[in-house]
Structure 1
Amino acid sequence: MAEAELQHLREALDGFRSDFRRLRDEVGKVIVGQLDILDDTLMALIAGGHVLLEGVPGLGKTLLVRTLSDCLHLKFQRIQFTPDLMPADLIGTNVVMETSAGGKRFEFQPGPIFGNIILADEINRATPKTQSALLEAMQEHSVTIAGTTHRLGEPFFVLATQNPLEMEGTYPLPEAQLDRFFCKLLVKFPSTADMEAILDRTTEKKTQRAEAVLSGERIVEMSRLIREIPISNEVRRYGIALVMATHPEHELAADITRKYIRFGSSPRGAQALILGAKIRAILDNRYHVAREDLQAVAPAVLRHRLILNFEGQAEGVPTDDVVAQIVKNVKEPAKAA
């Protein structure tokens, strides 16, 4: 890389770090604690992926999404998933309209999916038929109705929430849809100090409100920039090895993988692993990806891509334990076939 190009990249990465911190600080005016959740959510947004948030009610999942939308000059849409929600309620439908000449014509009425930041609240309460309506939108950033494809705006970011406790009347997300999420984040209960801060911000006269600091165009620029960060062949092979080790039949599989996992991660997991590691490298003021970056993002991008076998389900084995064992066991990069 020429010196002029390298200098241009350095300046671009300085701007990336500055804008990322501005966005994080602005969201932090409203959201207390949960810094890891916030960083991983912003990572997925910039990487062009989607996020699945899992946690009990009242932990601020919905507030996080709404606050993030306040910080960006983007269109926000909230969709409350219920058992009676139909696909047309989500993506829209063609309706019959009367023309000025007295004739009839079809006109497309877009649904709430036509936005930039989509909050799919309690996504597992909708039927699989409605859940599947999200698949094309999440993967292709478009929806097809009556043979006509309608493009969605860019950036397009779906942040779905689900409650792990109330399972009655819910429909677990199919593996194909889970795989569309860049990462799955587990929202934990706040600490005592965070609880005090939450009460200060929500029960006093003065309330905090986030202001818009970035545009959608800037998010797209940042998404393109991360793909310019180099990654060595050795580190890339190490990332591949981490993904291969999630498959019980592979030679790199850990004992816990062979015992409890039925199917491992798809190639999308490897893509998310690399992109997330690149963002982490940028934020750490580095111009290359290290193994530690891959290890740091592995739980968030792999936990929902591992399918437990019967024994794993019966014993309630957390997939995070499997990922941790894989990271511990995989020492050398996989050799090219």
Structure 2
Amino acid sequence: MTTVQGQAPTLAEATATAAAVRHAVQQVVVGKDEVVDLALVALLAEGHLLVEDVPGVGKTLLAKALARSIDCSVRRIQFTPDLLPSDVTGVSIFNQERGDFEFRPGAVFANVVIGDEINRASPKTQSALLEAMEEQQVTVDGRTYPLPPPFLVVATQNPVEMDGTYPLPEAQRDRFMVRVAMGYPRPEDELRLLGTHVGTDPLLAMSPVADAEEVRRAVAAVAEVHVSEALRHYVLALTQATRTHPDLRLGASPRAGLQLVRAGRALAALVGRDHVLPDDVAHLAVPVLAHRLLPSARGRTARKDPATVVREIVAATPVPGARG
């Protein structure tokens, strides 16, 4: 895909870029179209993606495929218990020849950062990503270094019940726009994997279908997708309902509402629509909100996870233009 330099980015450009990346990733991540679309939502909305599931279902494969489909800088961080915050952000080292300190960037200095098994590192190391994910910059020894746009963190994690894992801090979970679960493939998709992925690495056949500039233009175009005042009230009603629900002790933050609106714009852009519908918001409510919420004692007793509570809230909240 080519773009005309100097012209304002268009929605058609964004939709075409997203379609090309989607097709490339779907050739590798088989049978997970919904997961791929949510990954693209995070990319187009300048968010970050958290992929959570048991080992062996393709979490890292999704992250790598998304990164390989874009011609941009990519760094991978393997999170381990002995990983240090400076390994992520960078460190200032004294240069004897110059007689001064020089900054050596860490692995976070890339357009796409793959954080593999992020919850196997200590909370202190996990927190090294907080500033980068929220402000797209890193501060080391009092100096601030900007990160290159576009900037996307794709982190994978195993369920907290697995050995050797730490729960992600609430502040870090809140910085991930979207959380997805891969799930096991359907039998027909797994049979296809057994025929095409045995003995060969499907990633080796991938070539970039977009570059960093095209993604930047797509992000700019998505930011112009229209969100009506009624829809903003709808998002507010959803987030406020999570703060008062008896089955939750931690509701959605204002950041969660902002990211739900941005994600809705990206989802609309995926299909070439220049405005967000209530259905977009309802569809995204669980992947955008549920991972930020914590159940109350009542919720744990009733064995209701946050995703179930969000679905109940969506079902009970009047939709603009439909009722109320």
**TM-score, with structure 2 as normaliser:** 0.91
Helix, strand or coil at the partner of 1:300: helix
Please give the per-residue CA displacement for 1:206-238, whole angstroms capped at 9, x wherever unaligned: 956221011111111111111212122112211
Q: 2:157 — aligned with what?
A: 162
Percent identity among equivalent residues?
40
Q: 2:58 — aligned with what?
A: 60
**Structure 2 counterparts to residues 36-51 of structure 1, below 5 A:** 36-51=34-49
Partner residue of 1:34 out of 32, 35, 42: 32
Q: Which runs of 4+ in 1 moved over 6 A?
A: none
Helix, strand or coil at the partner of 2:88: helix
Q: Do the aligned partners of 2:17 and 2:218 also contact (CA within 8 Å) in 1?
A: no
Does 1:173 find its partner at 2:168?
yes
Q: 2:282 — aligned with what?
A: 295
Cα distance in 2 for partners of 1:165, 1:179 equals 17
User: How far is 1:310 from its partner?
Assistant: 2.3
Does 1:329 find its partner at 2:316?
yes
Does 1:114 find its partner at 2:109?
yes
Does 1:238 find its partner at 2:225?
no
Pairwise CA RMSD? 1.9
Q: Do the aligned partners of 1:114 and 1:153 also contact (CA within 8 Å) in 2?
A: yes
Shift of the 210–232 alpha-carbon distance from structure 1 to 2, 3 Å rule, reads: same
Cα distance in 2 for partners of 1:29, 1:281 equals 23
Q: 1:85 — aligned with what?
A: 83
* Larger-gyration structure (1/2): 1
Structure 1: unaligned runs, 5 residues or longer: 1-7, 249-256
Q: 2:220 — aligned with what?
A: 224
Larger relative contact order (Cα-Cα within 8 Å, sequence gap ≥ 6): 2
Please give the per-residue CA displacement for 1:33-82, whole angstroms capped at 9, x wherever unaligned: 11111100111011101011101111111111111111111111111111
Helix, strand or coil at the partner of 1:132: helix
Shift of the 286–89 alpha-carbon distance from structure 1 to 2, 3 Å rule, reads: closer
AA at the equivalent of 1:143: V
Q: 1:263 — aligned with what?
A: 250
Shift of the 286–88 alpha-carbon distance from structure 1 to 2, 3 Å rule, reads: closer
**TM-score, with structure 1 as normaliser:** 0.88
AA at the equivalent of 2:281: L
Q: Do the aligned partners of 2:26 and 2:32 also contact (CA within 8 Å) in 1?
A: no
Please give the per-residue CA displacement for 1:89-108, whole angstroms capped at 9, x wherever unaligned: 11111112221xxx632111
Cα distance in 2 for partners of 1:132, 1:305 equals 16
Q: 1:136 — aligned with what?
A: 131
Does 1:308 find its partner at 2:295?
yes
Cα distance in 1 for partners of 2:268, 2:161 equals 38
150-159 or 195-204, larger mean C-alpha shift = 195-204
Cα distance in 1 for partners of 2:137, 2:200 equals 43
Q: 1:18 — aligned with what?
A: 16
